[in-house]
Chains A and B, each alone.
Chain A
Amino acid sequence: MAPVAPIAAAPLIGGVRRRSGLAYLLLLPGMLWLAIFFVIPFGSLFATSLQDSPAGLFGNYAQAMSEYWGAYVRALAYAGISTLLALIIAYPLAYYIALRSGRWRSLLLVLVIAPSFASFLLRTYAWRTILADEGPVTSFFNALGVLPDQRILSTGLAVIAGLTYNFLPFMILPLYASLDRVDPRLIEASNDLYASGPKTFWKVTWPLSMPGVVAGTLLTFIPASGDFINAQLLGSPQTQMIGNAIQANFYKLRDYPMASSLSFILMATIVILVSLYIKRSGTEEIV
């Protein structure tokens, strides 16, 4: 958002006032939307999280942390692993679509998005069948003898698989967008300057696709860490994520202060992790 730009360009003082008025007018709907649906609920959520505190002002927070720390750890771990898997699956795919697919490009992009036309819930239910105990996937891995519990469904593996699958398009699309912007002449220049294929990838293509990597990982990690559907449908009580705890407190236990505290802790954790991540990847100006 840059409401300042038209002001600088205005030729007259009267014009300046009118133009800046217009800029604020144009901002108004967005600001109102944010105020009504974000700032006010945010405040009310925070107020709720302080109610019925057992000890001190932030008693709910202390209780939330001690009772649900396992769910927090699982949420971050599952989301982190899913994000990494999605990146590994999505990168070659996005690379191919952006740089090699030629006239199939549009079709391939549609195929990436196509599953989203079916309901999220439905697709997650489908994974129960895919990963069922006697199903081909589980049988295959059991034949290899690599499954500790002889099953996938109702374990962390199933939750991670579901999360990876469900958020994959959010990884592919930003990666595609940023790989599509990589000038093929830079790859030629790198080849010309003694860099072989792999060296060119690590020294030119990968750094230039960083904005896509950062955007894709954020778009996957943030919703995945707050997700509860996958853990509920594909997991077991032992694989509960923080999303499940929040959902249970809101809808089953009706413990609103506890649910609010859990939400706040999750939000704060994500904000801190994301800022550290962006800072580390040094891409503030290009995201």
Chain B
Amino acid sequence: MKLTQAPVQDLHLVNLVKRFGSVAAVDDVSVTIPAGSFFALLGASGCGKTTTLRMVAGLEDPTSGKILLGERDIAGLRPHQRPVNTVFQSYALFPHLDVFENVAFGLRRRGIRAVQEPVQAMLDLVELGSMGHRRPSQLSGGQQQRVAVARALINQPAVLLLDEPLGALDLKLRRQMQIELKRIQTEVGTTFVHVTHDQEEAMTMADTIAVMNDGRIEQLGHPADIYEMPRTVFVANFLGQSNLIAGRRESGGDLLTVRAFDHLFALPAARSSAVGPDVVVGVRPEKITVIDDDGATSDERVPEGHNRVRGVVTDVSYTGVSTQYLIRVPWGAEFVAFEQNVLVGDRCGVGDPVILHWSPANTFGLSADATVGSQAATADSEAVDGELQVR
């Protein structure tokens, strides 16, 4: 069932800026959100993602820049004049109206009389067909959330904006709703713009993720691309965890060699976004293999050409599916490594000397113009002074 007849149009944000006093909450954001896509704006609180969303909704006036829906600039329109609807963070359901009237609200305001059928169809879509007469306060969090989605979607908006829609739900329900929202999006084909600080949520649902930091988009792309090849230190740490090693380029070519702390690391030139000779070498924890270091034959067990570091295990957390190791490497940093628990009882203990190795193909390179913390997994690193990276 296709419920959307609204013209499917791309949403373009062009040099969008929002200042509160002297602070730029959104600092020159330009991005194109293709029609029909599930787009996530991901970032920590205060990064400007919600402000961006509110500007699209019309609840905040941009300081400068354009918001184009297809060819048309909607930045000057009042919220009620925009073909855009929002699912609010706290749902903002009208407490004085029942579920049916909440969902019918937008239709009635536009003077549509025949609401019975579309409202019922929409309630069925979100699986609340029999809840029409309840008050919002009589529903569970997940049900309220679905009413909020139905109330916005029934208006067949050109773009549906979701402001941290799952933030108030518990983990299990959140997972369910992620799948549910994705199903609804596929079914109606509307463009969804989803604001979240939860990287897993963004990765599960979105076709395209824009990672925001300090009012700017740090990186934009398919979730897997961003994860496998982050372009900035912030992204490497915010989206999942990364082990980062600051070094200097030793030799170029298709395979870069980077020297850091008397170690040599290799990575494909295509996987490095570093511009100067200073390169931050990075690897995701699950890409690392941990083997016992017996001081003699272990080196032979490392595949030819792999990057390798010796270290001592400082912490072991068993999580069932995998084991997470913290390993102190010779220059004092702590690496994180995830090992699948393929064999029963095959684990290293705290204090064991180990060798970490990983393939150059799983290594990425970043510009070194930002501080790299000694702790690999901290996500609070300073913003990279990067340009907007829109592909």
Query: Complex Cα distance A192/B55, Å?
Result: 12
| Interface contact B109-A193, CB-CB below 8 Å | yes
Q: Which residue of A lies closest to B95 (CB)?
A: A208
- Complex CA distance for A207 and B92, rounded to whole angstroms: 15
* Residue A104 CB within 8 A of the other chain: no
Encode contact with B along A178-203: 1 for CB under 8 Å, 0 otherwise: 00000101101111111110010001
Q: Are A185 and B90 in contact (CB under 8 A)?
A: yes
Contact A189-B78, Cβ < 8 Å, known A194-B106, A194-B109, A203-B109 = no
Q: Is the C-beta of B85 less than 8 angstroms from some C-beta in chain A? A: yes
| Contact status of A194 and B57, CB under 8 A, knowing A188-B79, A189-B86, A208-B96 | no
Chain B positions within 8 Å of A199 at CB level: 80, 109
Asked if A204 is an interface residue, CB under 8 A from chain B, the answer is: yes
A192 contacts B96, CB within 8 Å? no
Measured between alpha carbons, how far is A185 from B86 in the docked complex, in Å?
Answer: 11
A-chain residues with CB within 8 Å of residue B90 when the two chains form the complex: 185
Interface of chain B residues 85 through 144 with chain A (CB within 8 A): 85-86, 88, 90, 92-96, 105-106, 109-110
Asked whether, in the complex, the Cβ of A194 is within 8 Å of the Cβ of B92, the reply is no
Inter-chain CA distance A203–B96, complex, in Å, is: 10
Q: How far does the Cβ of A212 sit from chain B's closest Cβ, in whole Å? A: 13
Best-surrounded residue of B80, B85, B151 (most CB of chain A within 10 A): B80
Check B169 for interface membership: any CB of A closer than 8 A. no
Number of interface residues of B (CB under 8 A): 23
Residues of B within 8 A of A207 (CB): 96
Residue of B nearest to A189 (CB): B92
In the complex, are the beta carbons of B155 and A194 less than 8 A apart? Answer: yes
Instruction: Enumerate B142-170 residues with CB–CB distance to A below 8 Å.
Output: 151-152, 155
Return chain A residues, CB-CB under 8 Å to B109: 193-195, 199, 203
Query: What separation, in Å, do the CA atoms of A190 and B93 have in the docked complex?
Result: 9
* CB contact under 8 A between A191 and B79, given known A199-B109, A203-B109: yes
B59, CB-defined interface residue at 8 Å: yes
Interface centre among B85, B88, B105 (most CB of A within 10 A): B105
Q: In the assembly, what is the distance between CA of A185 and CA of B110, in Å?
A: 20
Q: Choose among B57, B92, B155 the residue that contacts A186 (Cβ–Cβ < 8 A).
A: B92
Min CB gap A182→B, angstroms: 10
B97 closest partner in A (C-beta): A207
Question: Are A185 and B151 in contact, with the CB atoms below 8 A?
Answer: no
Tell me the complex Cα distance, A195–B85, Å.
12
- The answer for the CA separation of A188 and B80 in the assembled complex, in Å, is 10
Q: Does B92 lie within 8 Å of A185, measured CB to CB? A: yes
| Complex: A196 Cα to B81 Cα, angstroms | 8
Residue from A183, A185, A188, A193 within 8 A of B105 (CB atoms): A193
Q: Which residue of A lies closest to B111 (CB)?
A: A194
> B155 near A193 (CB under 8 angstroms)?
yes
State how many angstroms separate the Cβ of A101 from the closest Cβ of chain B.
20
Task: Give the number of chain A interface residues (Cβ < 8 Å).
Answer: 18
A196 proximity list for chain B (CB < 8 A): 78, 80
Contact among B78, B96, B151 with A193 in the assembled complex (CB-CB below 8 Å): B151
Residues of A within 8 A of B88 (CB): 185, 188-189
Give the distance in Å from the alpha carbon of A254 to the alpha carbon of B57 in the complex.
71
Tell whether A194 pairs with B96 under 8 Å between CB atoms, given A185-B88, A188-B88. no
**B96 touching A191 by the CB < 8 A rule?**
no
| B96/A183 in contact, CB under 8 A | no
Given contacts A191-B59, A193-B85, A194-B106, contact A183 B92 (CB under 8 A): yes
Complex interface bits, B371-384 against A, C-beta within 8 A gives 1, otherwise 0? 00000000000000
Report the nearest B residue to A207, measured CB to CB: B96
- A191's closest neighbor in chain B, by CB? B79
Shortest CB-to-CB span from B52 to chain A, Å, is 16
Q: How far is the CA of A189 from the CA of B109 in the complex (A)?
A: 12
Q: Which residues of chain A have C-beta atoms less than 8 A from B78's C-beta? A: 191, 196
Residues of A within 8 A of B155 (CB): 193-194
B228 to chain A, nearest CB (A): 37
B160 CB to closest chain A CB (Å) equals 11
> Is the Cβ of A192 less than 8 Å from the Cβ of B94?
no
Q: 1/0 per position for B47-58, CB-CB distance to A under 8 A?
A: 000000000011
CA–CA, A221 and B78, complex, Å: 40
Query: Given the known A-B contacts A185-B88, A199-B109, A203-B109, are A191 and B94 also in contact in the complex, defined by CB atoms under 8 Å?
Result: no
Chain A, Cβ-Cβ closest to B110: A194
Q: How far is the CB of B335 from chain A (nearest CB, A)?
A: 44
Assess whether B110 is in contact with A192, with CB atoms less than 8 Å apart. Answer: no
Which residues from chain A contact B58 at a C-beta distance below 8 Å?
191-192
A190-B88 Cα distance, complex, nearest whole Å: 11
Decide if A192 touches B79 in the complex (CB within 8 Å). yes
A188 to B152 CA separation, bound complex (whole angstroms): 13
Name B157's closest neighbour in chain A (CB-CB).
Answer: A192
Identify the closest chain A residue to B59 (Cβ). Answer: A188
Chain A residues with CB under 8 Å of B96's CB are 204, 207-208, 210
A282 to B57, CA, bound (A): 34
Please name the residue on chain B nearest to A193 by beta carbon: B106
A190 to B110, CA, bound (A): 12
Most buried by B among A183, A191, A194: A194
B94 with A204: CB separation less than 8 A: yes
> Which one of A189, A192, A194 has the highest number of Cβ atoms from chain B below 10 Å of its Cβ?
A192
Q: Which residues of B contact A208 (CB under 8 A)?
A: 95-96
Given the complex of chains A and B, what is the CA–CA distance between A203 and B86 in angstroms?
18
**Which residues of chain B are within 8 angstroms of A203 by Cβ–Cβ distance?**
105, 109
**What residues of A have a CB within 8 angstroms of the CB of B80 in the complex?**
191-196, 199
CA distance A203 to B94 in the complex (A): 10
On chain B, the residues within 8 Å of A192 by CB distance are: 57-59, 79-80, 84-86, 152
**A199, B58: Cα distance in complex, Å:** 17
Neighbouring B residues of A204 by C-beta, 8 Å: 94, 96
The 18 listed contacts between A and B (C-beta, < 8 Å) are: A183-B92, A185-B90, A185-B92, A188-B59, A188-B88, A189-B86, A189-B94, A192-B57, A192-B58, A192-B79, A193-B85, A193-B105, A193-B109, A193-B152, A194-B155, A195-B105, A196-B80, A203-B109
Given contacts A186-B92, A189-B94, 11 further A-B contacts (CB under 8 A): A183-B92, A186-B94, A188-B92, A189-B93, A190-B94, A193-B106, A193-B109, A194-B106, A199-B109, A204-B94, A208-B95
